[in-house]
């Protein structure tokens, strides 16, 4: 598969579907789930098959032999530290007050990075609070954030809409990015070190039925 083929909404929507669901896939199912045109689905699946990232189980039916191998290939094309437009902020009331406030607003958001990972893997090293939102300046105004040089609160404007796909809602109404998105972000720059992803990866490998539909 050519470099860059999995970037953008089309490639990322396909990959996220393959990652997020533990199932056999037909082209029709992928079209229904992602909304991506048939030809784009077939072209992407053919490329993934050549790379050994999907397997044919029957005519027109494919499966993912290793979801983590597919995620790593996706990370070659889509990287948090390269693709997301980030700005740094702080709050006079503290980070937790920001997380408590967001669900009471109409801001579109998805929390990623260490804070999201710790929901599933509590031993994840602490790190910056990273929040996807389409308009960082608007979010900062609503949340009464102050520009900062330190990475206490990171507002990330995503390059695609995929980061908001299949978010998880906490008891407080806070939206978390899906585990696959959080893991991919931790590996590619949403934490101080890629090793911060290890606890979440271990949890996902051990509890696949809990996060894959």
The CATH class of the 8-77 domain is: mainly alpha
Q: Give the 3-state secondary structure of residue 204.
A: helix
**pLDDT number for residue 2:** 85
- At 34, the pLDDT band (50, 70, 90 cuts) reads very high
Phi-psi region of 113 (alpha: psi -120 to 50; beta: other; left: phi over 0): left
- Listed residue (169, 71, 188) closest to 111, CA to CA: 169
pLDDT in tens, 62-80: 999 999 999 999 999 999 9
Within 13 Å of residue 134, how many CA atoms lie on the same side as its CB? 7
Q: Where exactly are the structural domains of the chain?
A: 8-77, 80-211
Task: State pLDDT tens for residues 85-100.
Answer: 999 999 999 999 999 9
């Amino acid at each position: 598969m050519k470099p860059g083929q999995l970037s953008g909404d089309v490639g990322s929507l396909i990959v996220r579907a393959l990652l997020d669901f533990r199932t056999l896939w037909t082209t029709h199912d992928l079209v229904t789930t992602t909304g991506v045109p048939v030809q784009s689905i077939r072209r992407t699946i053919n490329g993934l098959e050549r790379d050994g990232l999907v397997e044919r189980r029957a005519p027109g039916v494919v499966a993912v032999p290793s979801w983590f191998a597919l995620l790593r290939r996706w990370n070659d094309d889509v990287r948090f530290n390269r693709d997301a437009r980030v700005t740094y902020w702080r709050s006079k009331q503290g980070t937790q007050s920001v997380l408590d406030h967001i669900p009471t607003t109409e801001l579109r958001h998805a929390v990623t990075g260490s804070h999201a990972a710790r929901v599933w893997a509590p031993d994840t090293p602490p790190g910056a609070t990273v929040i996807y939102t389409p308009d960082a300046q608007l979010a900062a105004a609503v949340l009464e954030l102050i520009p900062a040089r330190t990475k206490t609160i990171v507002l990330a404007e995503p390059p695609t809409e995929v980061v908001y796909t299949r978010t998880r809602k906490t008891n407080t109404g806070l939206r978390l990015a899906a585990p696959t998105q959080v893991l991919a972000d931790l590996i590619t720059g949403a934490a101080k070190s890629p090793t911060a992803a290890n606890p979440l990866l271990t949890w996902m490998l051990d509890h696949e039925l809990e996060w894959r539909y």
